[in-house]
Amino acid sequence: MQSSARQARKKLLTYKLFIMKANVGIYDQGVRTLLAIAIAALYYFKFIQGTAAQVFLVIAGVLVITSLFGFCPLYKLFHINTAETHHSST
């Protein structure tokens, strides 16, 4: 009986660790999108080429994805939250 309770607690903890709560704010999303566009423009106009271009394009892709989802795994790892929280004042 204890082992099933322990397994349930472990599953719940694992589930809580991987919940994607928004932690990227609107301004942060804008900056990420602009950086991705700038990287794409640098690649398009051949300012960056080769391996460096591939690395920067992967970074740009990550920036776009984290901007669209509003969630950054590194922010969660370092307990950073730039998303606005709305508190009601009563």
Domain positions in the chain: 21-77
**What's the pLDDT at 19?**
72
In eight-state DSSP terms, residue 83 is S
Top-confidence residue, 83 or 58:
58
Q: What does the pLDDT look like over 43-65, one tens digit per residue? A: 999 999 999 999 999 999 999 99
* Distance, C-alpha 60 to centroid of its chain: 12
Tokens for 50, please give them.
Answer: 């080769």
| Band of pLDDT at residue 73, cut at 50, 70 and 90 | very high
Residue range 8-39, pLDDT digits in tens: 766 665 655 567 788 999 999 999 999 999 99
pLDDT at 20: 76
The per-residue pLDDT for 11 is: 66
- Per DSSP, the residues of 1-66 read -HHHHHHHHHHHHHHHHT-------HHHHHHHHHHHHHHHHHHHTTSS-HHHHHHHHHHHHHHHHH
